[in-house]
Amino acid sequence: MAYSDKVVDHYNHPRNVGSLDKNDPSVGTGLVGAPECGDVMKLQMKINPETQVIEEAKFKTFGCGSAIASSSLATEWVKGKTVEEALSIKNTDIVRELALPPVKIHCSVLAEDAIKAAISDWKRKNTEVEKPAASSAAGQS
Amino acid sequence: MAVKLPIYMDNHATTPVDPRVVETMLPYFTEVFGNAASRNHEFGWKAEEGVERGREQVAKLVGATPKEIIWTSGATESDNLAIKGVAEMYREKGNHIITEVTEHKAVLDTCKRLEKDGFEVTYLPVQKDGRVDLDGLRKAITPKTILITIMYANNEIGVVQPVAEIGAIAKEKGVFFHVDGVQAVGKIPVDVNKDNIDILSISAHKLYGPKGVGALYVRRRNPRVQLAAIIDGGGHERGMRSGTLNVTGIVGFGKACELCQQEMPTESVRLRGLRDRLKDAIFSQLDEVFVNGSMTYRLPNNLNISFAYVEGESMLMGINDIAVSSGSACTSATLEPSYVLKALGVGEDLAHTSIRFGLGRFNTQEEVDYVAARVIETVKRLRELSPLYEMAKEGVDMSKMQWNTH
């Protein structure tokens, strides 16, 4: 199979590879896919609780070149975005950007799932600590 | 020493035609172009001479007599003719066929078609090392069994079956024994008499001959095997396979067999040495790598390794100056991981990480060293990228995790 130049570029020079401390309350971790299916993506984001801006994003992916490229692109795109903006990223945007063929569309779906999973992990972590933080923030305003 | 790139190490898929074979074939395109079935002029006679020389050369390689060799278009046709030919010819005797789960699709799909046609097929499992269990085979034989079809060596893992023992059981039970010999013939000694083989499929392009030509050995005595033809026409090849013979291909096939026979004693030792060198290099530099299938009963040119936590297609992309294959789902037409590895009990997670190396006549030690270095470097790089490798290193038991399979 021939890969698009963009997929090859992300595969050869993946952006934002690595891991963030999953125990840090400001870090959301999304782990999607399954080893038996041949692809697993781990996407992590460090989110500023005040601004809700994604300040840092890291990934690690077990999967084909298109899966690696999709997750690498996802980290590039979410960085600097707010949580709401990141949630609006659609798998079809990834398909278009990377010119993925039909058999590789599931890679883009996985990347979208990874973004959503990381954000919901972050939200879950912050529901308990959020209240006092939110009230103090409200008090200041 | 610099190696020439890309490197071809996928010799189970096909092999390049040996230049000595090409040279033998060339006159048959232009000067000796006759139809081997033209009985009344020089052009036909010369073509027939070439065909008959080829028949002798192919027969000699497998210990057969020339009259027992039938020309086909390739091993897929040979497998079809053998299995369907026996099924139709001996249907009154019985309707049961025994095969194994790791056969090539040319055998499995032919058996599946016969099942639709009222035949019963037993698909024997294989053991962890990839070999069939002889007791299991014995137990599977019924009075209705007319054919056992088991491959000599597997195309993915190179595992060699106990063919002579299976042949002895078949003989004892009065059941015909067909062998798909595609990967084995020309690489290791195959002898239709010592191995008790009744029907044997052979392909030219797997042994440095041209594509589009194959052969079927069909035993003429003790016992005599008759096959119903699947292609009707001019009654060529003792009525078993009509169609104008591919004279050029046959001449090349014959020459290729002759060369394999001459060079096998030294070539098999050389290839085994190179294969082991590749394996040793990989195993000395990488952890969590596993050989799929028996190392003892294996073709000398085959290596099939799972590189845990590194998906096969991404691996192929990383070593794109080397031609090898993967059992990963992403590289298969069906999007399923290798059914052969699954049959060995290799988990799907590891099947996705498997790479098949198929060494051949034209591979050198320099190439093997280059391939080993590239593979090691690529696995290390991709493991840095692999969340699974990271989890394994943290001691996470991934088999106990809840994965959201999709």
A99 in contact with B at a CB cutoff of 8 Å?
no
- Domain count for chain A: 1
A68 in contact with B at a CB cutoff of 8 Å?
yes
Quick one: pLDDT at residue A137? 40
Asked whether residue A139 is assigned to any structural domain, the reply reads no
Burial status of residue B261 (CB atoms within 10 A of its CB: 0-12, 13-18, 19 or more): middle
- Per the CB < 8 A criterion, the answer to whether B78 and B202 are in contact is yes
Phi, psi of B41 (to 5 degrees): -150, 165
How many beta carbons lie within 10 A of that of residue B187, not counting itself? 26
Asked whether residue A135 is assigned to any structural domain, the reply reads no
Quick one: pLDDT at residue B15? 98
Is pLDDT of A140 > 50? Answer: no
Is pLDDT of A141 > 90? Answer: no
**Interchain CB contacts (distance < 8 Å): A and B:** 84
Of B328, B384, B398, nearest to A38 by CB-CB distance is: B328
**CA distance linking residue A3 with residue A101, whole number of Å:** 9
Quick one: pLDDT at residue B336? 81
- Does the annotation mark B257 as catalytic? no
Q: Which of B309, B313, B393, B401 to mutate to test the interface with A (most CBs of A within 10 A)?
A: B313
SS3 for A62?
strand
Asked whether residue A44 is assigned to any structural domain, the reply reads yes
Instruction: Please compute the mean of the pLDDT values over residues A105-116 and round it to a whole number.
Output: 96
**CA distance linking residue B260 with residue B61, whole number of Å:** 8
DSSP per-residue letters across B259-281: HHHHHHHHHHHHHHHHHHHHHHH
B330 in contact with A at a CB cutoff of 8 Å?
yes
Quick one: pLDDT at residue B404? 72
Domain range for A104 is: 5-126
Per-residue confidence band for A1, with pLDDT thresholds at 50, 70 and 90: low
Quick one: pLDDT at residue B398? 85
Question: How much of chain A, in percent, has pLDDT values that exceed 90?
Answer: 84
CA distance B99 to chain A (A): 27
Record the tokens describing residue B187, joined without a space. Answer: 């690489």
A20 in contact with B at a CB cutoff of 8 Å?
no
CA distance B74 to chain A (A): 26
Record the tokens describing residue B305, joined without a space. Answer: 């390794």
Quick one: pLDDT at residue B399? 83
Record the tokens describing residue B19, joined without a space. Answer: 């230049």
- State chain B's mean pLDDT as an integer: 96
The total number of residues shown for chain A amounts to 141
**CA distance linking residue B355 with residue B304, whole number of Å:** 6
Asked whether residue A132 is assigned to any structural domain, the reply reads no
Bridge-based pairing of strands B199-203 and B176-180 is parallel
A98 in contact with B at a CB cutoff of 8 Å?
no
Instruction: Mark yes or no for CB contact A60/B311 under 8 Å.
Output: no
Quick one: pLDDT at residue A127? 84
Quick one: pLDDT at residue B405? 62
The total number of residues shown for chain B amounts to 406
Instruction: Mark yes or no for CB contact A33/B329 under 8 Å.
Output: no
User: In chain B, what are the domains?
Assistant: 7-12+264-392 (3.90.1150.10), 19-259 (3.40.640.10)
- Per the CB < 8 A criterion, the answer to whether A69 and A104 are in contact is no
Instruction: Please compute the mean of the pLDDT values over residues A5-25 and round it to a whole number.
Output: 96
Q: Residues of A with CB below 8 A from B406's CB?
A: 33-34, 37, 106, 109-110
Question: What does pTM read for this prediction?
Answer: 0.93
- What spatial distance separates the first Cα and last Cα of chain B, rounded to whole Å? 47
| Residues of A belonging to the active site | 37, 107
Instruction: Mark yes or no for CB contact A103/B388 under 8 Å.
Output: no
Phi-psi region of B274 (alpha: psi -120 to 50; beta: other; left: phi over 0): alpha
Quick one: pLDDT at residue A39? 93
ipTM of the complex: 0.88
CA distances (Å), origin B241, targets B59, B74, B183, B221, B288: 17, 12, 23, 19, 50
**CA distance linking residue B194 with residue B31, whole number of Å:** 40
Instruction: Mark yes or no for CB contact B352/A31 under 8 Å.
Output: no
Asked whether residue A81 is assigned to any structural domain, the reply reads yes
Asked whether residue A138 is assigned to any structural domain, the reply reads no
SS3 for B218?
strand
- Residue A27: give its domain's CATH number: 3.90.1010.10
Record the tokens describing residue B21, joined without a space. Answer: 């074979």
Those residues of chain B that have pLDDT short of 50 are none
Per-residue confidence band for A2, with pLDDT thresholds at 50, 70 and 90: confident
Asked whether residue A136 is assigned to any structural domain, the reply reads no
Quick one: pLDDT at residue B1? 60
Asked whether residue A21 is assigned to any structural domain, the reply reads yes
